[in-house]
Amino acid sequence: SQHPIICYRQIQPSDLEILEQLHGDIFPIRYESEFFQNVVNGHDIVSWAAVDRNRPDGHNDELIGFVTARIVMAKDTEIVDFLRYDSSKPDQTLVYILTLGVVGSYRNVGIASSLIQEVIKYASSIPTCRAAYLHVISYNNPAIHLYKKLSFKCVRRLHGFYLINGQHYDSYLFVYYVNGS
């Protein structure tokens, strides 16, 4: 087979079906169909897709990786404890990374790293933005390795944060500070 040519683009309405399918395949948590609608329509959510332009048989624009994120007000989040929060600037924002995934056969070639770099670039371009942050389940070693490699700081362990099939799991809170925070 041919070598992959990975490109990054915005997620669009025609990606809806594959986006939903990939989330179902990759994550232990179910997402509402409203979430996927909001992603593909860019309602309150920013997202990036990875595609392989060399993928044969009409799949050369099909998602092989994605990242989704939302802008939130810093004062409404648990991150406010980890910012030198300045109450004279109540409009401070954060970018919260919701989901990140790469199709199995495309892992370990840097696609997730590039997708997260896009999020960091975006967060850095927003003057009010202080950080990008996310939760990751405590047993997800590939993801934890990735965020540490990209210089995210693990600031907290949250006990029983996730409930999956009746079982509680801890999560780590990872933060990447931007704009001199």
- Please select the residue that binds ligand ACO; options are 90, 110, 154, 164, rule is CB under 6 A: 110
Q: Do residues 172 and 138 make contact, with C-beta atoms less than 8 angstroms apart? A: yes
- For ligand ACO, the binding residues in 123-162 under the rule CB under 6 A are 134, 136, 140-143, 145-146, 149
Closest CA to 106 of 148, 66, 151: 66
Q: Which is nearer to ligand ACO, 39 or 136 (CB)?
A: 136
The β-bridge relationship of strands 153-164 and 6-10 is: unpaired
Q: What b/e readout covers 22-44, taking b as 16+ CB neighbours within 10 angstroms?
A: bbeeeeeeebeeebbebbbeeee
Q: Which is nearer to ligand ACO, 17 or 25 (CB)?
A: 25
Question: Binding residues for ligand ACO, how many (CB under 6 A)?
Answer: 22
Separation CA 84–CA 108 (nearest Å)? 35
Residue nearest to ligand ACO (CB): 112
Separation CA 84–CA 5 (nearest Å)? 42
Stretch that binds ligand ACO, among 71-79, 102-110, 117-125, 159-167 (CB under 6 A): 102-110
Separation CA 174–CA 75 (nearest Å)? 17
- Please select the residue that binds ligand ACO; options are 46, 79, 102, 173, rule is CB under 6 A: 102
- Please select the residue that binds ligand ACO; options are 10, 21, 113, 125, rule is CB under 6 A: 113
Which H or E element spans position 24?
Answer: helix 16-26
Q: Is 26 in the site for ligand ACO (CB under 6 A)?
A: yes
Binding site for ligand ACO (CB under 6 A): 26, 97, 99-102, 107-113, 134, 136, 140-143, 145-146, 149
